[in-house]
Amino acid sequence: MPDAHRRLDDAHAEWHDAFDAYFDPHRFRRSFNSLLASFQSTIDTIARRKRSIPGGEETLKQWETTVKGDRLYKWAVKARNLVVHEADLSLHSLAWVEHAALDHSRYGGKLEAAPESSADDLLSAYLLNKPESIRSGVVKVSRKWVDNSLPDKELLEVASHLYGRLAVLVAAFHSDDEVLCSDLGLPERDCNKNRDSSRPKCMAWGGQAPISRTVDLSTRHELAMEIMSFKRDPSVSQQDLEQRYGRFFKLDGDPIKESLQQMRRASLYLTVDSEAMPWMLLYKGSNLVDTFQISAVSKPTLLAMFSGMAERVRATGADGFLFTAEAWTTWHPGVKRPVHQHKGTFYDVKPDRGEVLLVVAATSDGRRVSLQRHFARDEAGWPVLGRVVSTTRLGPEWRVVVEALNGLPLNSAFRRD
């Protein structure tokens, strides 16, 4: 039933439109209203053709029985009828502002946000009557849209739940050769390349945390932080990896116990490739549940980076992490300076700084470890590694990530059932 799948794909696109418009109240309202209409249109399309398909009436009746007790589905039916025939939803926006100072201290509070308030309005409301001393660092504005008749559920989370319900219905009316809908001319998205999935990954993750925008207070510019997931190149075999890096690819295990192995692994990457990319491993118990890359190029983006890691910890429910990165550190006299070659001439990269390979691990049961390995570079730019220094104390920059690891709520306004 290609028409029904097109309607379902419209709902997917409108979910993304609403997500992108989360801090634009009027665009969000329009996109979410269209999303509700697409959900109903998907059902109506199937209902009109059910008699032309063998067993169609019974299939639809069985699906209707499964959603009969679903309060989110019942809310969506009423909401769609309201926005089509009567008025807009009674939307309410909860907002939370968190200020991270350059010394990594953090404070903030809940804002009573009028539905029409933009991100700039929320930021201005927070800064009103605040002293000049907080006009540096970064501010993260988090927002959560709810309907007053369903105050305990974020709206895009509701929409992703409904999409999953409808995807099951649409799949039930597919023939075997239609299941991937490869001939419908539908736009491909990285988050939904496998159309046999009942819910795309974008929707499965999106509702797990308040949606945020981070602003550099010194410039009032939004900081765009990108979290990149890892994908293994299928053309590279396990033998190819082992030939280049050795057998260092077992990532499951206790993050504290794996930290030294991770330092060996990162040191190998550094000596083979002359760099070790920053990456974060998240664990539940001894199982690896998420792997991603996130980096910072300035003090404001560094503050935003730690907030981004904390959000990912909350979203996955991780109880441990293992972080690896290259970093600049205070210069140690007697250590050879790092150099950079340009047109045959060597220059100090940062004359007053040194380079260090950093591995940090923590678990929700209170265990912590930080490993540092200072290194210099020879005249060709290749690293010369020093010894590993270990400590169980983490710097203040890790506080926000550890709080997320311990399950502390971002704020009561965003506390989940």
Q: Are 39 and 104 in a shared domain?
A: no
Q: Give the residue carrying structure tokens 């503050």.
A: 303
- Measure the CA–CA gap between 326 and 279, rounded to whole angstroms: 10
| Residue 254 counted as domain residue | yes
Angle between helices 155-172 and 56-67 (to 10 degrees): 150
Looking at the fold, whether 372 and 292 belong to one and the same domain comes out as: yes
State the total domains in the chain: 3
Same domain membership, residue 231 and residue 197:
no
pLDDT value of position 344: 46
Asked whether residue 130 falls in the same domain as residue 177, the answer is no
Q: Which domain holds residue 25?
A: 2-89+153-209
pLDDT at 58: 86
**Whole-angstrom distance, CA of residue 285 vs CA of residue 177:** 41
Question: Which H helix or E strand runs over 171?
Answer: helix 155-172
Q: Which two tokens stand for residue 367?
A: 């265990």
Residues 24, 95, single domain; the answer is no
What gap in Å lies between CA 255 and CA 401, rounded to an integer? Answer: 15
Instruction: Give the number of other CB atoms < 10 A from CB of residue 18.
Output: 23
Model pTM above 0.85: no
Separation of alpha carbons 227 and 295, rounded Å: 8
pLDDT tens-place string over residues 339-351: 444 444 444 444 4
Looking at the fold, whether 250 and 305 belong to one and the same domain comes out as yes
- Domain end, chosen from 102, 121, 147, is at 147
Q: How far apart are CA 354 and CA 377, in angstroms?
A: 10
Q: How far apart are CA 368 and CA 360, in angstroms?
A: 8
Q: What is the pLDDT of residue 255?
A: 92
The one-letter code for the residue type at 357 is L
- On whether both 204 and 340 belong to a single domain, the answer is no
Determine, yes or no, domain membership for 219.
Answer: no
Would you call 417 exposed, middle or buried from its count of C-beta atoms within 10 A (0-12, 13-18, 19+)? Answer: exposed
For residue 120, being part of any structural domain is answered with yes
Last-in-domain residue among 163, 180, 209: 209
Handedness of CA 258, 259, 265, 269 (dihedral sign): positive
Distance CA 60, CA 1 (A): 13
Inter-helix orientation angle 2-20/155-172, to 10°: 170
Closest CA to 138 of 225, 209, 52: 225
Specify whether 310 is located in the same domain as 397. Answer: yes
pLDDT of res. 360 = 95
Q: Give the Cα separation of 151 and 275 in Å (integer).
A: 48
Has residue 216 been placed in a domain?
no
Task: Enter the DSSP assignment of 336.
Answer: P
Q: Alpha helices, DSSP H only, in 21-88?
A: 25-49, 56-67, 71-85
Q: Please tell me the predicted confidence (pLDDT) of residue 335.
A: 47
DSSP type of residue 50: G
User: How far is the C-alpha of 168 from the C-alpha of 184, rounded, in Å?
Assistant: 18
Tell whether 129 and 58 lie within a shared domain: no
Is 220 part of any domain? no
Q: Among 112, 127, 147, give the residue marking a domain's end.
A: 147
Return the DSSP state at 216: E
CA distance 135 to 280: 30
pLDDT in tens, 60-88: 888 888 888 889 989 898 888 887 777 77
- Written as six digits, the tokens of 141 are 């504005």
Give the count of alpha carbons within 13 A of 59, CB side only. 19
Q: Tell me, what's the pLDDT at 321?
A: 94
For residues 11 and 104, membership in a common domain is answered with no
Q: CA neighbours within 13 Å on the CB side: how many for 282?
A: 22
My answer on whether 274 and 351 are in the same domain is yes
Rounded Cα–Cα distance for residues 234 and 151 (Å):
45
Tens of pLDDT along the chain (417 residues)? 678 888 888 888 899 898 888 888 888 888 999 999 998 888 888 888 777 777 778 888 888 888 888 899 898 988 888 877 777 777 777 777 777 777 777 777 777 667 677 777 777 777 776 666 666 777 777 788 888 888 888 888 899 889 988 888 888 876 544 444 544 444 555 565 544 456 676 776 544 455 777 777 777 676 665 555 555 567 767 677 666 666 655 677 899 999 998 898 888 888 877 777 788 899 999 898 888 887 766 677 777 788 888 878 887 889 999 999 887 776 555 444 444 444 444 444 444 557 888 999 999 999 999 999 988 777 777 778 888 989 999 988 898 899 888 876 544 333 333
Structure tokens at 125: 């409301």
For residues 365 and 321, the answer to whether their CB atoms sit within 8 Å is no
My answer on whether 143 and 279 are in the same domain is no
Place of tokens 């929409």: 159
3 state SS of 351: coil
Cα separations in angstroms, 31 against 40, 228, 235, 329: 15, 27, 40, 47
